[in-house]
Chains A and B, each alone.
Chain A
Amino acid sequence: MTFNKTIIPRVMASILGQTREVLAAEAVIAVDGAETFDCDVTRLHLHDMTVIAGLGGPISLLIAFSFEGSLVEALFNRVTADIEVPPGEEDLYRRETAGEIVNTILGLCTTDFQNIEESIALSPPVIIEDARCIHRPKNAVFANMRIRTERGIVSVSFVGPRDLFDDHLNYQS
């Protein structure tokens, strides 16, 4: 399927809506607002913890959710409130919390694309913890959305076509 960048604004709107729903339902965290930076973004800045997953089929995008530490901590405390976290495994559960929140948001986003006949595959989330900057190659499209919540910021980056990058956002020439 050919990548079509005109789908990005629709995916952004869907992600913003589902992020609002999932953060409220899973962690009682309100989204205060969002700023979008459409397809003229030339580099992406990843924060301390970033969860990357791919939406396949006609969407063909890698989507990276980069969380501020304060938001990860708030999510971790809420999401793990009713389960046992073994001592010493808090960091693992922080990463798992972020991965599961992103997986839920992206999965629910597919409900906003019911008119697409083809199945939209969702790859298992990959978590990276090194802050870095990724420059846009000429043949790629980057877009970004900054979602502000009452507990911190999550920056959502859109990278396409998906097959130009591996699951860790390394460029595959």
Chain B
Amino acid sequence: MPLKVIIADDSIITVKKLLVLMEGLGHQVVATASTGREAIEAYRRHRPDLMTMDISMPDMDGMEATAHIVAEFPEARIMMVTSHGQERMVIDSLDAGAKGYVLKPVRIEKLSDMIAKVMERST
């Protein structure tokens, strides 16, 4: 089933690449955000089925934005898409409320597998 998706990342390149991959998987990107604060606003406005979240972003990082969104919408499905591979960072993200974690560079198979896991975990 196609999902409504928001992409939060401060890199135009990553946003465009994720958009192509999401559309290739049959999903609909309803909004993008380039800061943590924009991500929270976009979530409130669109209530997506899934949000991808970068960690390093200006103004508010992705971890803090995730914690805010999950506190307000406990059912939120947020998947970190980041290059941070340190195990401590993965644990901190899951503690903040993320349901999945994909390491860059992102490939379509990796993204598809993690989306399936995130959706399965939240049913």
Contacts and interface: CB of A to CB of B under 8 A. Distances in A.
Interface of A: 22, 25-26, 79-80, 82-84, 92-93, 96-97, 99-100, 103-108, 110-111, 113-114, 116-124
22 contacts: A79-B13, A82-B20, A83-B13, A83-B16, A83-B17, A92-B12, A93-B12, A97-B13, A103-B11, A103-B83, A104-B83, A107-B82, A107-B85, A108-B83, A108-B85, A108-B103, A110-B89, A113-B86, A114-B86, A119-B92, A124-B56, A124-B57
B105 A25 contact: yes
Contacts of B56: 103, 107, 121-124
Contacts of B87: 114
Interface string B75-98: 000000011111111001000000
A65 B10 CA distance: 19
Interface string B8-36: 00111110110010000000000000000
B95 to A, nearest CB: 11
Contacts of B57: 124
A86 to B, nearest CB: 10
B20 A83 contact: yes
Given A22-B105, A84-B16, A123-B56, A110 B86 contact: yes
A119 B11 contact: no
B104 interface: yes
Output the residue of B17, B57, B105 with the most chain A CB within 10 A.
Answer: B105
Interface residues of B, number: 24
B13 A104 contact: no
B67 to A, nearest CB: 14
B88 A117 contact: yes
A79 B58 CA distance: 23
3 interchain residue pairs of minimum CB distance: A107-B83, A111-B85, A110-B86
Given A120-B86, A123-B56, 4 more contacts: A84-B16, A93-B13, A107-B104, A116-B88
B12 A106 contact: no
A96 B15 CA distance: 11
A112 to B, nearest CB: 8
A110 B84 CA distance: 6
